[in-house]
Amino acid sequence: MSDSSTTERERIQLSSAVVRFAGDSGDGMQLTGDRFTTQTALAGNDLATLPDFPAEIRAPAGTLAGVSSFQLHFSDQDIHTPGDAPDVLIAMNPAALQKHLSALKPGGIVIVNTDAFTDRNLQKAGYDESPLHDGTMTDYQLHEVPITDLTLRALERHITEGQLNKKEAERCKNMLALGLVSWMYSRPITETEDWLETKFSAKPQIADANVTALRAGWNYGDTTEAFAFTYEVKPAQLSPGRYRNITGNQAMAYGLVAASVRSGLPLFYGSYPITPASDILHELAKLKHFGVATYQAEDEIAAIGSVIGAAFGGNLAVTASSGPGIALKTEAMGLAMITELPLVVIDVQRGGPSTGLPTKTEQSDLFQVLFGRNGEAPLPVVAASSPADCFDAAIEAARIALTYRTPVVLLSDGYLANSAEPWRLPAIDDLPALSEDFSFTTEPNLPDGGFAPYLRDEETLARPWALPGTPGLEHRLGGIEKETETGHISYDPANHHAQTEMRYARLERIGQQLPPLEVVDPSGEAEVLVIGWGSTEGPMQAACHDLRVRGRKVAQVHLRHLSPLHPDLAEMLRSYRVVVCPENNMGQLAMLLRARTLVDVKTYDRVTGQPFGSTELAEVIEHLGWGEQA
């Protein structure tokens, strides 16, 4: 589809736009959103996405429970969030409209598939009568488009020639919708055409039908008078470099592979499928040519057990799960801690407790990973803060694990896992040279030629990593308390206390060797500090930006390391008049900061399964930071 076919119509320049596709689980909204995202990335915009789908694979068709949505925020500016309120809502059925209309900006554009507004569907969505003409839509720009019918008409030839049946033809309606929205935002669709042809290369008639529907959608916008304007968002001025789009889970997988390459260790990934972590396994299973061994274990415990075995054998060993699975891995994490083996345990957090909200995001596993083990079992915990940041966070987790010989917990969440953003590709040579952070012990370390598996490195307090197969260094590890240096079983009271202190000392050593904390405070005079961790970084950045535009002097710090906390953190917090800590939990980091620093951290907690909006946070920070002064 070339631009030359577009009839003249006023093209409105926008700085940014938020588009939300919503429909039934079976309507292909995630795929539609993914395609629109790719087209938008190729148009050079900065972007952020928010997929939101039900836990049920196919909830009853047409119901509110079955609504799946995908939101995309794109801009000619540097952006940090998938956007608060959409400018445009594409509602493929009444349930999608019912569920998402209230999120739309006043005056926003709504495109509905009128063919889906049957009595039965209206009833399922809880509408007594059609909302299209009862005044519900007064405040919005409503476009009624018979998307299903248009799709069937476009594919009439395909149906009559027997290339596909009516039901198969109807399934192409998401491509018609995509074509229409692509036309609205002046997004070329050639890339999606190529993608469809590759994806359905084994079924060329399906590829052709989808491409036909996509073009029909574009042409509908172009030739009907229904749409008075098209919109354009110019490319963003991003830092120079080569970019691609990436989701958090994909970046996590790539980060682990990069850590393997940079450490020279084969990657062993043992895990048990769980939402929203499974995609890391799927990604890595495709990357065996990097020497990656992926092992789908029989359960969560077997997954971490296999990883401990692989770490003992000298691999870069990683497991991932979500909260419920981490709970099952707890005992084994303690074993890995006391045996001081390097491994990475990824927790892609989801709504809890128990099974909770499997497809929704939350930050409520912080205490679980910090404290959820029997005995004194301190572990380093690091957190990723954006989809692309999962790449760097994975490398950092591997670095700590290998350098200090300890399991490391790496926190992500459902939002990071599934959301996408443009990622400026790093130069491989600039990535940390992990191979310099450790070495395998191959020689005895005692004057008498013996080997003490817990004789520590003075600088890192790490114990030797001697692999099975090394002659003369035969030793036994286990979960029973160890004697200092020799690692023999010891029930000696003083030894147990000393070993416990040593394990904390080793953790603190990690903190002492971290680079300085990075505080963002353009004014250099801020009295209000916003602190957070994980996926709230984007909304917090955007909120702070808005506040600064309004003249507020606000500083922001976002923690990569939750354990140990940076040794300078307490002093830093004390230097601000107000410290605000917004979290998608009930105040877990805030409680930790209060306990560790005695600073009266103000909290803002919300667990709705959705990320914070930036407007919401700006109001909160304004209120907590300056409200009482005003």
Partner 1 sequence: MTTKDAKLTKKDFTSDREVRWCPGCGDYAILATVQTLLADLEARPEKTVFVSGIGCSSRFPYYMDTYGFHSIHGRAPTLATGLAIARPDLDIWIVTGDGDGLSIGGNHLMHILRRNVNVNILLFNNEIYGLTKGQYSPTSPMGSVHKSTPMGSLDRPINPVSLALGAEATYVARSIDTDRKHLSEVLRGAYEHHGSSFVEIYQNCNIFNDGAFAAVREPGQRDQNQIRLTAGEPITFGPEGERAVVAEADGSMRIVPTEEAGDRVVVHDPTRPEPTTAFALSRLAPSPTGPTPIGVFRSVDRPVYDDELRQQVEAAREQHGEGDLVELLESGNVWDVL
For residue 91, which of 180, 21, 36 has the smallest C-alpha distance? 21
By the rule CB under 8 A, 308 interacts with partner 1: yes
Residues 247-276 binding partner 1 (CB under 8 A) are 254, 257-258, 261, 266, 268, 270
Which of 126, 204, 472, 627 touches partner 1 by CB under 8 A? 472
Q: Per the structure block, which two tokens stand in for 532? A: 């957070």
Residues 325-364 binding partner 1 (CB under 8 A) are 331-332, 335, 339
Instruction: Report the residue number, 216 or 388, with the smaller CB distance to partner 1.
Output: 388
| Alpha carbon distances (Å) from 266 to 26, 283, 291, 618 | 39, 16, 6, 45
By the rule CB under 8 A, 107 interacts with partner 1: no
By the rule CB under 8 A, 488 interacts with partner 1: yes
Considering only 206-214, 363-371, 473-481, 588-596, which stretch makes contact with partner 1 by CB under 8 A?
A: 473-481
Residue with tokens 């300078």: 568
By the rule CB under 8 A, 592 interacts with partner 1: no
Considering only 379-387, 477-485, 516-524, 615-623, which stretch makes contact with partner 1 by CB under 8 A?
A: 477-485
Shortest Å, Cβ 23 to partner 1: 25
Helix (H, G, I), strand (E, B) or coil at 615: helix
Number of residues that this document lists for the chain: 630
Neighbours of 293 (CB within 10 A): 16
Give residues with Cβ within 8 angstroms of 203, minimum separation 6: none
Considering only 5-13, 89-97, 301-309, 505-513, which stretch makes contact with partner 1 by CB under 8 A?
A: 301-309
Instruction: Report the residue number, 15 or 165, with the smaller CB distance to partner 1.
Output: 15
How far is the C-alpha of 17 from the C-alpha of 292, rounded, in Å?
40
Residues 18-47 binding partner 1 (CB under 8 A) are 38, 41-42, 44
By the rule CB under 8 A, 242 interacts with partner 1: yes
Answer yes or no: are the C-beta atoms of 308 and 259 closer than 8 Å.
no
- Largest Cα–Cα distance in the chain? 91
Instruction: Report the residue number, 238 or 586, with the smaller CB distance to partner 1.
Output: 238
Which of 489, 513, 596, 627 touches partner 1 by CB under 8 A? 489
By the rule CB under 8 A, 505 interacts with partner 1: no
Which of 14, 55, 64, 301 touches partner 1 by CB under 8 A? 301
Measured over the CA atoms of residue 393, residue 373, residue 566 and residue 402, the dihedral's sign is: negative
Round to the nearest angstrom and report the end-to-end CA distance of the chain.
56
Shortest Å, Cβ 4 to partner 1: 23
DSSP summary character for residue 311: H
By the rule CB under 8 A, 302 interacts with partner 1: yes
Phi, psi of 544 (to 5 degrees): -65, -40
Answer yes or no: are the C-beta atoms of 365 and 323 closer than 8 Å.
yes
Phi, psi of 66 (to 5 degrees): -90, 5
Helical packing angle, 173-184 and 204-223, nearest 10°: 40
Which of 476, 516, 549, 551 touches partner 1 by CB under 8 A? 476
Instruction: Report the residue number, 70 or 227, with the smaller CB distance to partner 1.
Output: 70
Which of 140, 200, 295, 367 touches partner 1 by CB under 8 A? 295
By the rule CB under 8 A, 88 interacts with partner 1: no
For residue 323, which of 539, 564, 71, 607 has the smallest C-alpha distance? 607
Shortest Å, Cβ 512 to partner 1: 31
Total residues at interface with partner 1 (CB under 8 A) = 74
Instruction: Report the residue number, 330 or 615, with the smaller CB distance to partner 1.
Output: 330
Instruction: Report the residue number, 197 or 616, with the smaller CB distance to partner 1.
Output: 197
Instruction: Report the residue number, 258 or 383, with the smaller CB distance to partner 1.
Output: 258
**For residue 611, how far is the Cα from the chain centroid?**
11
Instruction: Report the residue number, 309 or 587, with the smaller CB distance to partner 1.
Output: 309
Instruction: Report the residue number, 25 or 339, with the smaller CB distance to partner 1.
Output: 339
Which of 85, 238, 498, 591 touches partner 1 by CB under 8 A? 238
Which of 72, 91, 184, 292 touches partner 1 by CB under 8 A? 292
Give residues with Cβ within 8 angstroms of 537, minimum separation 6: 80, 385, 386, 389, 558
Which of 106, 135, 240, 515 touches partner 1 by CB under 8 A? 240
Which of 140, 200, 290, 367 touches partner 1 by CB under 8 A? 290
Residues 408-467 binding partner 1 (CB under 8 A) are 424-426, 428, 444, 449, 467
Answer yes or no: are the C-beta atoms of 516 and 568 closer than 8 Å.
yes
By the rule CB under 8 A, 314 interacts with partner 1: yes
Which of 297, 505, 520, 591 touches partner 1 by CB under 8 A? 297
Helical packing angle, 389-404 and 248-263, nearest 10°: 40
Shortest Å, Cβ 179 to partner 1: 19
Helix (H, G, I), strand (E, B) or coil at 393: helix
By the rule CB under 8 A, 178 interacts with partner 1: no
Q: Per the structure block, which two tokens stand in for 20? A: 């939300």
Instruction: Report the residue number, 10 or 298, with the smaller CB distance to partner 1.
Output: 298
Helix (H, G, I), strand (E, B) or coil at 265: coil
Residues 190-219 binding partner 1 (CB under 8 A) are 191
Considering only 285-293, 379-387, 555-563, 605-613, which stretch makes contact with partner 1 by CB under 8 A?
A: 285-293
By the rule CB under 8 A, 85 interacts with partner 1: no
Instruction: Report the residue number, 280 or 302, with the smaller CB distance to partner 1.
Output: 302
- Following DSSP, what letter does each residue of 126-150 receive, concatenated? T-SS-TTSSSTTTTSEEEEE-HHHH
| Burial (CB count within 10 angstroms: exposed 0-12, middle 13-18, buried 19+), residue 42 | middle
How far is the C-alpha of 344 from the C-alpha of 308, rounded, in Å?
10
Give residues with Cβ within 8 angstroms of 613, minimum separation 6: 81, 84, 85, 539
By the rule CB under 8 A, 48 interacts with partner 1: no
Helix (H, G, I), strand (E, B) or coil at 322: coil
